[in-house]
Each structure stands twice: as structure tokens, then as C-alpha cells.
Amino acid sequence: MSFRFLSELMHPIADGFGGNYQHLTNIGLVLSFATFSVAVLADLTLSPALFRLKNFLSVTSAPLEVLITLLYWGIRAVDKALLFPPGFELALVPDLSFHLVPAVALTLDLLLLGPPYTVPAYGAMAISMTIAFLYWGWVELCFSYNGWFVLPGFTCLLPPVADPVCP
């Protein structure tokens, strides 16, 4: 449902470089979809290689989705203007399907249905830090083409200017 909604969602950000995949949420959705797709294939084929790949993807995607959920709902509670351009806000069902359901489903799968952690803690932290730096680079690349950040709150990262969005 989230991907169908996303493909039908048209707004100025979707027309910019990077399209809807400038948002970490949407990148997380792709990774979550890949994780669950590999999990289904692993369950159907009983392939040890697919189970190893699913475990690696799960250790990667679950923390990312939890981070996305915590950041999104935390920022939203403080000031929606930091997340949404003027006149644009998601309806409740797509909002929950983007920003809550993946984190809950992946966390339950990782903690209750998965085997003991197959990736060491340092490896999981290295994966998370790599994703963070890659996303930072992606945001900067999109900014260099578009001249604007994907989230209004990112403008607070620029040198100080009179911006009413930034606190």
C-alpha cells in the first residue's frame, strides 16, 4: 500500500533530483520491502543462504526503521513545519504505513522470529554509520542539484539566515 501511494504522490519534491527517494523514510521502505521479500523467499525455499541474507538485511533495516520512526514522530510532535512544506501533510493511514508499521513489524521479526543475532554489535553499528553517512551524502547531492533540501527543517543546517522555519 505504501509503495502504491508513493508512486501516485505528486508534489514539487517528487519532480526534483532524487524524486521521492530523497526522504530517508522512502529509502527505509525499500530496504524493509527487500528484507521481507528475502524472508518470504527464505521461508519458501528453506535456503540457508537466503536466511543469512535475511538476517543481515534485518539487522540493517530494523534499526533504520526504528530510527526513522523515532525521529519522525519526535520532530512531528515538536513542529510539523520542520517536516512538511506548507500545504502538504500526509493523511493518517499513509503516515502510519510509512512511519510506524515498518518499525514495529521489523522489530518484532528481528526480536521474536529471528535467530540470535548473526551480525556482531560492532558490525551492526558499522552498517548503521555507513547508512547514515551515505544518506548525508545523498541529501547533499540532491541539494546541489535542486537548490533546496527535502525537509524544510534541513535548511537549519545552512549558514544562519532569517529563516522562519528554523527555531
pLDDT tens digits for 96-114? 888 999 999 999 988 887 7
pLDDT for 164: 52
User: Cα(81)–Cα(163) distance, rounded to whole angstroms?
Assistant: 12
Give the pLDDT band of residue 165 (cuts 50, 70, 90): low
pLDDT tens-digit map of 68-91: 999 999 988 988 877 777 777 778
pLDDT at residue 43 is higher than 60: yes
**Cβ atoms of residues 83 and 72 within 8 Å:** yes
pTM (2 decimals)? Answer: 0.80
pLDDT for 26: 87
Return the ∠ at Cα 17 (arms to 15 and 21), rounded to 5°. 85
pLDDT tens-digit map of 5-21: 666 666 667 778 887 78
pLDDT for 102: 92
**Cβ atoms of residues 59 and 127 within 8 Å:** yes
pLDDT at residue 38 is higher than 90: yes
Give the pLDDT band of residue 65 (cuts 50, 70, 90): very high
